[in-house]
């Protein structure tokens, strides 16, 4: 992946069924870890990796997502004498140039990425799933870019090791080692039946992709539920370009389900200067009562 990556696609057009009923009106991607939406965390990660253009894929009914990134002059006027609050109000809008494309129907992650084809154009780009949160500096995208620097035209996917007994719940790669924390991918298997997994390297929602992936996604047949899967598109891409799996530093939180988001919130509260002590007291008290 030689050329610098300037653009990132953030698919945010899913139904969020695991968070019903709240997702009837609040997009999952805007649910907060403490006080910041998950979407904000991943836009920050993209900006930190040098990405200047963020393309968010949304859907009809999730207008709140675009709303979040709109300037709020009314609020800024009201809070004009409080620098800290002003900074918070502006934090969403200032990180990158954020634009939106609409996926009319939730036809899968691969289809969501394909929806962004025109906005991305003919250049390599990143894909970031906003419900996979990794709190680490440097961020996962930066780490992946470093891991494949100089690999002309290659693609990359982030992976983390999961316990073998849980591997059937994840998408995993079939790969061989290709350097420190890096693997050359031969294939990908979604939720392998017990005892059949080719590795315990599970796929995390960060990808670096060359523009050829769009042609692959066009050729990808829909799967069981009529959805076009990104991993199926990557299987086709693998015929033409090298795909690497990159392990990364940092803990991944699964913000795609309520308990995962709760865990992320508690652990973030325990790390943040302004909440650490009160959060630790709370956790100790709750633990003592169990
Ligand atoms: P998920 O697989 O978590 O699906 O999508 P989901 O629909 O959001 O949630 P559940 O499973 O019904 O609870 C991972 C990411 O891909 C986006 C989602 O918005 C989420 O950010 N996505 C998924 C799309 O943009 N379009 C789709 O068709 C599917």
Q: What is the mean pLDDT of the chain?
A: 95
- What number is the average pLDDT over the span 13-22? 98
CA of 109 to the centre of ligand 1 (A): 7
Mean pLDDT value across residues 3-16: 94
- Closest residue by Cα to atom 9, ligand 1, is 16
pLDDT surpassing 80 at residue 2: no
Mean pLDDT along residues 229-237:
95
> Per-residue pLDDT tens for 109-161?
999 999 999 999 999 999 999 999 998 999 999 999 999 998 989 999 999 99
**Residues of the chain above pLDDT 70, percent:** 99
Q: Categorize the per-residue pLDDT at 92 as very low, low, confident or very high, splitting at 50, 70 and 90.
A: confident
Predicted structure pTM score: 0.96
pLDDT (0 to 100) of residue 225: 83
End-to-end CA distance of the chain: 50
Confidence tier at 41 by pLDDT (50, 70, 90): very high
Which of the four pLDDT bands, split at 50, 70 and 90, describes residue 66?
A: very high
265-276 confidence digits (pLDDT tens): 999 999 999 999
Distance 16 CA to ligand 1 centre (A): 6
DSSP-derived pairing of the beta strands 125-128 and 7-11: parallel
The answer to whether 168 and 88 are in contact (CB under 8 A) is no
Residues 6 or more apart whose Cβ sits within 8 Å of residue 7: 51, 52, 53, 54, 55, 119, 120, 123, 125, 126
**What pLDDT was estimated at residue 3?**
65
Residue 279 Cα to ligand 1 middle (Å): 30
Ligand 1 pocket (Cβ < 6 Å) reads 11-18, 28-29, 57, 103, 106-109, 111-112, 129-131, 256
pLDDT for 179-219, tens place per residue? 999 999 999 998 899 899 999 999 999 999 999 999 999 99
Apex 138 CA angle, 231 and 2, nearest 5: 60
How high is the pLDDT of residue 155? 97
The alpha carbon of residue 281 and the mean position of all alpha carbons in its chain are separated, in whole angstroms, by 31
Residue bearing the CA closest to ligand 1, atom 23: 14
């Amino acid at each position: 992946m030689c050329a610098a990556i300037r653009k990132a696609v953030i698919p945010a057009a899913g139904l969020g069924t695991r968070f019903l009923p709240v997702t009837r009106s609040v997009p999952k991607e805007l649910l907060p870890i403490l006080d910041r939406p998950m979407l904000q965390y991943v836009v920050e990660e993209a900006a930190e990796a040098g990405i200047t253009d963020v393309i968010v894929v949304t859907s009809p009914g999730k207008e709140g997502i675009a709303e979040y990134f709109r300037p709020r002059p009314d609020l800024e006027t009201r809070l004009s004498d409080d620098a800290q609050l002003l900074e918070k109000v502006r934090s969403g809008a200032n990180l990158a140039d954020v634009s939106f494309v609409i996926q009319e129907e939730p036809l899968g992650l691969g289809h969501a990425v394909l929806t962004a084809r025109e906005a991305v154009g003919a250049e390599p780009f990143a894909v970031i799933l906003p419900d996979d949160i990794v709190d680490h500096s440097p961020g996962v995208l930066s780490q992946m870019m470093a891991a494949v620097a100089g690999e002309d035209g290659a693609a990359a996917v982030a992976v983390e090791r999961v316990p073998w007994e849980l591997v059937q719940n994840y998408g995993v790669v079939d790969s061989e080692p290709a350097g420190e924390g890096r693997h050359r991918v031969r294939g990908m298997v979604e939720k392998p039946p017990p005892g059949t997994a080719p590795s315990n390297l599970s796929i995390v929602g960060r990808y670096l992709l060359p523009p050829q992936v769009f042609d692959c996604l066009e050729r990808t047949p829909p799967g069981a539920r009529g959805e076009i899967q990104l991993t199926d598109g990557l299987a086709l891409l693998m015929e033409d370009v090298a795909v690497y799996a990159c392990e990364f530093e940092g803990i991944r939180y699964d913000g795609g389900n309520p308990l995962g988001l709760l865990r992320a919130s508690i652990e973030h509260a325990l790390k943040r200067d302004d909440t650490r002590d009160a959060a630790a007291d709370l956790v100790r008290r709750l633990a003592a009562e169990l």
